[in-house]
Structure 1
Amino acid sequence: MIMESNNYDEADMVNEVELLQEALGSGAWNMTFDQNGELTSVNWSQVFRRMIGYKDESDFPNKLSSFIDRLHDDDRERVVNLYWNAVKDYTDRTVYDTEYKFLTNNRGYRWFHAAGRIARRENGSPISIVGFFIDIDDKKKLEESLKAADEEKTEQLRILKSLADMYYSMHLINLRTGNITEYSSGTELREFLDKKISAAEKMRLIMENVVVPQFRESALKFTDLTTLSERMRGLKTLSSEFVGIYTGWFLANFIAVETDNEGCPTVVLFSTQVIDERKQQEHVLFLRSVTDDMTGFLNRRAYEAQLEYYRRNPIPENLVFTVFDINQLKHVNDTLGHAAGDELICGFASIANKLKMLQGKNGKVFRTGGDEFVGIFCLTPEQYAIGEKEFFNHVSKWRGKLVKRIAIASGTACRSDYPDLNIDELAKIADQNMYTSKAEYYKRKGIERRHI
């Protein structure tokens, strides 16, 4: 009997196989069942919907009736009976693999080939069925090329069925007996699974050898089979993410297959799924969300998060809080245009990016407004003084194409000078000092700020 996992993370599955499905002209779907074999959920993939001319769940709901109602009258009874016979055959001998005519939303009735694989519990009751749906209308209509079409269809089905094994590893674990039944497994796990030790010892040994050190302790706690049943009391699933030595980020998932009278699992399905690409995409999206597009500095959202961090955690003794402001930016925008103003903003960024001394190991620069920037550095006052001198030396030498010079006002508050103040109070002092610097600049230039 072949068993597959009940797919509890359909969104991740679609992201990983959607392009291949479309290239092969196929669409995936899956359904889940309770312990009594009753249907509990239906999920039609977006590729499936697009193949038959529908947009999303609003016009093709996640219901079995969405499919049944659109079957051709000649095929409906046969296909429905085959589906339920396959689901209810606890011996797993009945295979759901058939062809039929189906009413699409944009091209009328077309021929399709469908196949499904059913995952079952030890007693034979269904856990889930994962299936694929292939458009074979052209092949049906081209009688002279039926043989070639059948060969192509067979190859596509072979590839598609292999996609049903979407997990890096999958094992059924009997927590009472300690038995592990393997359904799929990465090659790196083989040597540990073959050892003549208990399931709990195997799991511990695997996590110690395949998870990177910084995640090892949490992975060991998560996969501790001696405490799993109690930790999953009343829960259907338990999931967590870790980083593997061989896989990068992976999702580990326990699914309760059987439970005792107190709701504690006695049999669980344990699966791991590689999600490294998804995590990298999430990281890119996160960086975009906290980065200012024009300067490449962290944005206001990141600045507020940094303040919140220091509100909850100790402030380093060598923290230096600096507020920067570009003088006369509004005047430049009004008289020379916004392109000139943008040149000043980018000019400040280019200068600040040169200052490795100012940035230090933990230094960060934020763009908090149009012409306002904040630097939070971890440097001694002496180190900061050297960096500040270098910074204003670059400022004095800067020349633009649209604007001749740039003038920067800055204000600083060192934690060492104000050891009793919190981060918001340090920010306020730095801001006040910046405005003092700005006022002195306008006074030297004989400029009335209300006219700028």
Structure 2
Amino acid sequence: MLFGSKTKNTINNQQDFLLAETGRMLEQMQNGNFTIRGNAENDHLETNAVSILDNINKMLDLMHMSFDSIVTRFDLVNKTTRVGLWDMEVIAGDPVNPNNTFIWTDEFRHLVGYSDERDFPNVLSSWSNLLHPDDYNWVLEAFANHLTDYSGRTPYDIVYRLKLKNDGYRWFNALGTTIRDARGVPLRVVGSLLDINDAKASEDKNKELITRFQLANQASNVGLWDMEVIAGDPVNPNNTFIWTDEFRHLIGYSDERDFPNTLSSWSNLLHPDDLNWVLEAFAAHLTDLSGKTPYDLAYRLKVKAGDYRWFHALGTTTRDKNGIPLRVVGSLTDITSAKMKEQIEIELVSKMENFSHSLQDMIIGILNITTTAQELATTQEHAMNAAQQMKASTNETSKVVEFITGLASQTNLLGLNASIEAARSGKEGLGFNVVAHEIRNLSSSSADAVKQIGSSLNDLNDSIDKIVSSIEDTNGITQVQAATTEEVNAQVEEINSMADELMRLVKKI
């Protein structure tokens, strides 16, 4: 119970005055100057004794009035603050003595839905029977530990649940302090009870929100950081940093022991190619009092294992009305996979472009082959026509040869007949016989020449047949090649179309 300083001073002054007066009386009695004499008529005390007792009575009355005033004021404060008070007198220093007396104030009773001593007697069980089953044992144990610790070092400051008269359980905060003798034995315990149910619900909700946030933070794999800017100075060495454990885990560290809450813990891990421009970007964000310069960048950090990984950093700053930075909070996300994917995409696009160019060159080559095949087919067709015409001419020549052969045979027969007739004529037929003989020789020579021509024509005809056959075979192969080339060309066109589509998709990723 706390009193106002003015009231406390008044009481102290009254006590000092009373002690002073009592001391003076004792001194007078010791010196023989203080006497109490009876009067035969009225038996009154000496004037000085009466005066002193008068003063004592006045002071006692004044102290009583002050005490009543204090009690009244305390009751008013107690009702206003809705704090329930309780008091236990410890008999013979025994905390479990059944004769220990309890006093529960009405405000205490009201907190748990009761009215007065009739429905909430001044006994321990009135309170202990309302304890939640899960709190019962440990609460009584905590109360006993407080009382039995003669050193007075074990506090009684706990939170537990009590069952209300017409409702469920509510949370309360209980405080207690013990008056002890010189040996530490408890003499009296006084305490208070405060309804904290709404605050506890809010606290539980906040804890739930914090737990959800932490789980979400862990699930999202995002590290958070916080910097308090002292006196608006971004480079003040006293600026305090807080790196969350999730932040530390992203770069392979555990806690504050291996990754202290200092700027250098982070800056020393920046890649040499990123160090200067990253710190400049951070300073530019902080020193832009307009708040228009964002802090949104990607850089590399050296993880504990020794290699570098890519991270995306975001930050936002709380500023005063003049734009001076007060606090900066931000996040860090590992984007190494995204960066690798981006690099792969760049390489894939480059290779796809090269592949597309190669396909175009292949298409041009196939088109050239197709054109050449078509030209070859046309040439072969012309050669086929020429060969067929040559064969037709050869056939005509064979007929001439056959005619000449027939003519030679007839001539030979004519010469033979002439020789016979010349022989019959005797001497007159000798000249004619010579002519007939020459005719037969000519006929024989013509027959031999015709045979040679016929043989050559037959050979030529066989060769032409072979040429025609070869041309027909080549023409068939050429036609198959042309058809195959056209099919390949169609497939390459389809591949090229798919490559173009794939290129567009890659660029969209």
The two structures share one fold, judged by TM-score above 0.5: no
TM-score normalised by L of structure 2: 0.29
Higher relative contact order (CA 8 A, sep 6+): 1
TM-score normalised by L of structure 1: 0.32
Structure in which a larger fraction of residues adopt strand: 1
Structure in which a larger fraction of residues adopt helix: 2
Bigger radius of gyration:
2
